[in-house]
Amino acid sequence: MSFIFDTTKKIVSQLPSGVSLVAATKTRVVAEIEEAIAAGVAAIGENYVQEAQEKFSVIGNKVKWHLIGHLQKNKAKFAVKVFDMIETLDSVELAGALNKECKKINKIMPVLIEVNSACEPQKAGVLPDRVQDLLCGVACFGNIKVMGLMTMGPLMDEPEVMRPFFKKTKEIFDAIRADYPSNEEWKYLSMGMSDSYKIAIEEGANIVRVGTAIFGRR
Ligand SMILES: *Cc1c(COP(=O)(O)O)cnc(C)c1O
């Protein structure tokens, strides 16, 4: 059996119940992704719309497709056709573009708000204290539903350094849940990558995005 198949099996089998894996597949070819799917991957995360379109045309919708990279408004039209979830909502303008394109194809798109939890300049996502504003700003869009938060955290050699940023994102997630207790759609917290997903799960993540630990070094 192959490396990818074995590593995927191991990771999937060790996830606590209620936590789902998104295999981060940027730069990976279809044959590699198919091995991961054979081993139990049910969702894959792509960073670029065009790369996802190409793979989608071969793999199709036997898996869920998550967009985990930054999305430009002018790509919304193509993104809504491929993806089952957009994890990187970071502006009202982008939400508006997604809403418009989803309406055209009669789709309601699950989205997560990306939080720039370490408040790093030049980094994608909204600052922690702007999450509520964005949530209010998109409330009128009937063709997207905001289902939670995603964060990258600062990229560090020592994954333990990321823990406070996961904690902080969980706090924002919980505060919003407390504000809208009847919103049963508010349920996803996407945090953690190959080096940090175990820490992220300890801090409340229920979606983890793992690439290198499945496929090897890019
Ligand atoms: C590449 C990527 C991951 C996975 O990173 P690995 O370190 O390869 O596990 C997770 N999330 C996002 C947004 C990514 O771009």
- Residue 51 burial (10 A CB sphere; 0-12, 13-18, 19+): middle
Per-residue model confidence as pLDDT tens digits over 63-91? 999 999 999 999 999 999 999 999 999 99
pLDDT reported for residue 1: 57
Alpha-carbon span 45 to 80, nearest angstrom = 14
Ligand 1 pocket mutation pick from 115, 166, 209 by most atoms within 8 angstroms of CB: 209
Cα of 24 from ligand 1 centre, angstroms: 6
Ligand 1 pocket mutation pick from 4, 193, 195 by most atoms within 8 angstroms of CB: 193
Other C-beta atoms closer than 10 Å to the C-beta of 112 total 23
Cα 213 to Cα 64, 145, 192, distances in angstroms:
20, 31, 12
CA angle 91, 43, 132 (to 5 degrees): 25
Per-residue model confidence as pLDDT tens digits over 143-182? 999 999 999 998 888 999 999 999 999 999 999 999 988 8
Alpha-carbon span 30 to 25, nearest angstrom = 9
Kindly state the average pLDDT of the residues 188-210.
97
Q: 93: part of which helix (H) or strand (E)? A: helix 92-104
Do 81 and 102 meet the contact criterion of CB atoms below 8 Å apart? Answer: no
Q: 46: part of which helix (H) or strand (E)? A: strand 43-46
Nearest CA, atom 11, ligand 1: 209
Nearest CA, atom 2, ligand 1: 24
- Inform me whether the pLDDT recorded for 194 exceeds 60: yes
pLDDT reported for residue 143: 98
pLDDT reported for residue 155: 81
Proportion of the chain above pLDDT 70, given as a percent = 100
- Inform me whether the pLDDT recorded for 106 exceeds 90: yes
pLDDT reported for residue 181: 81
- From start to end of 63-187, where are the E strands? 64-67, 85-89, 109-115, 144-151
State the residue for tokens 């295999």.
23
